[in-house]
Structure 1
């Protein structure tokens, strides 16, 4: 595992760059969700995610993977991928009957969901950590450690009973151990290597200002929109000169279909104090030069009316005078 960790960092650092070139932590998660509707009806759904980016889907009927990115196969051969498809298909057909057969003993109530999650996490300065966990109704139930199943602290007696049963399958657990400590890390490594150009790309954000619903009489809700940026890490601040303003409201960073991100940051201010405020955007794609947008008070409707009507009246008068002269 130490050798794998060293190789992984070599892969992640392009052209002798620093660790900052690749934003850590980063993780891969493979999720199999089994929905148990009744004793004879179970539905399975599978997917794989590199952080918030979905890289794979899964057809529960055929057992085939769906590759959602051009680099989703990583460095695995077609033969290895077929073996993994076969392994997942066998597991998805053999796993639900275990829960069906122990509904009463484990005090399960239809309908319910069981999630099987396996993955790896890479943190700066730490060894690569891979895991396998099972959750019931979204709550941790059991996890696999050192060839054995361990109950989650919140799993109660149900988790202890499941561990007692699962730990009887020594041969299966040995296969699982190899998968978690060898196959899964190699796949994670290959996926990062194959998708390196995509994951290390820099996409400049677009930004604009607007107002939101009025917070009250004499107040403004200023909104700074930042869109289309990658990677995800971004700094957006409302400023007065060089002083950051307190009371900003930061929304969730939301994904676009193209893999870039969107964020809005709001500030509730007294309307007469809005002039002079600015929104500052910091992002790695900007090359160290912050993007700054200054808030300007909107012109009154009277000024807009004069700016439009006066030239029209003057032009009409000029046309009338030329017509008379002609």
Structure 2
């Protein structure tokens, strides 16, 4: 079987052991999303992720790996990466062929999508954990546990059929276990070592205030924007004096293109209560300091701008009116005499 052949290409790649420098569990996973349109047309997207940071992507048709960061190679040699490219290419062919075969055996129907995630997670002080999960049409379908493929509870007969095909390759299952439960942790520790300076960098956040859509008459939606910070953990809160103001809501963290993060913190308040509020930001890059933005100052700045602009608008209008009046007097309209 092609699936057995591709797994036999696995090479065990050495890694470092500096994971203790990172205080939270970290994971690396390969993700492939495949869209099956018919027996001869499919689309595959492949990527590699260190936690929430994408580190690799590849062109599935050729298996070419693209390194998104200078340290994405970890401590692997070029020869080892070439072997891995061959592995990924054959994996894409062999694994997906099983799903095409399932269609021909009337177990699946075109079109459909398959999502695969395989990798490992380091729990410091405990043994590392490998995992392989497969989803069909966005729902859990298969998983790899104890050297065997198992159908998900809601996978039904379709998942059982695919598991039977995969489990028929005994040697392949052993190599697959070695790849994700032994090789992956070593790869991950080497990647952490190579990217240590980047991953542990401290980038100070920038913060500013604005208003969102009005939640109702006499109310304001205050928005505190915080952007460009790294690492991800951050504390942002609307305060009244030294007390946290109840009702603060946070958006999801959004990634910036440079690997930093962006966050919005909202507060729905009575307009008359907004003047005494402030947004506080605490982050590891700030040390013992914090960023404090006072809404009353933000509001006062708006009044200052308004106070400057409005007289200029009035003066411009007055000048235009005077010029028009002067032009009328200088060149009054005259009536031509009738012949």
2:121–2:185 CA contact under 8 A, matched in 1:
no
Unaligned runs of 5+ in 1: 1-6, 14-21, 313-326
- Does residue 285 in structure 1 map to residue 285 in structure 2? yes
- Of 300, 304, 308, the match for 2:307: 304
Paired residues, number: 297
- Structure 1 CA distance for aligned equivalents of residues 53 and 304 of structure 2: 46
3-state SS of 2:176 partner: helix
**Change in 2 beyond 3 A, CA 1:88/1:305:** closer
Q: 1:177 aligns to what? A: 177
- Equivalent positions of 1:14-53 (< 5 A) are 22-53=22-53
TM-superposed deviation, 1:111: 0.9
- Structure 2 CA distance for aligned equivalents of residues 173 and 74 of structure 1: 26
Q: 2:260 aligns to what? A: 260
- Structure 2 CA distance for aligned equivalents of residues 177 and 226 of structure 1: 43
Unaligned runs of 5+ in 2: 1-15, 316-339
Where does structure 1 differ by over 6 angstroms across 4 or more consecutive aligned residues?
Answer: none
- Structure 2 CA distance for aligned equivalents of residues 288 and 56 of structure 1: 36
* Larger Rg computed on CA atoms: 2
- Structure 2 CA distance for aligned equivalents of residues 109 and 261 of structure 1: 41
TM-score, with length taken from structure 1: 0.84
- Structure 2 CA distance for aligned equivalents of residues 80 and 108 of structure 1: 36
TM-superposed deviation, 1:305: 5.3
TM-superposed deviation, 1:96: 2.1
**Change in 2 beyond 3 A, CA 1:158/1:165:** same
TM-score, with length taken from structure 2: 0.81
3-state SS of 1:102 partner: helix
- Structure 1 CA distance for aligned equivalents of residues 209 and 73 of structure 2: 41
- Does residue 201 in structure 1 map to residue 204 in structure 2? no
Worse-superposed segment, 147-156 or 51-60:
147-156
3-state SS of 2:103 partner: coil
TM-superposed deviation, 1:307: 8.8
TM-superposed deviation, 1:156: 2.0
1:106–1:158 CA contact under 8 A, matched in 2:
no
- Structure 1 CA distance for aligned equivalents of residues 159 and 107 of structure 2: 11
TM-superposed deviation, 1:227: 0.6
Worse-superposed segment, 223-232 or 129-138:
129-138
**Change in 2 beyond 3 A, CA 1:30/1:52:** same
3-state SS of 2:232 partner: coil
1:106–1:161 CA contact under 8 A, matched in 2:
no
- Structure 2 CA distance for aligned equivalents of residues 232 and 140 of structure 1: 29
- Deviation digits for residues 129-171 of structure 1, max 9, x if unmatched? 1111221112221111222111222222222222222111012
Q: 2:164 aligns to what? A: 164
Q: Which has the higher contact order (CA 8 A, sep 6+)?
A: 2
**Change in 2 beyond 3 A, CA 1:306/1:261:** closer
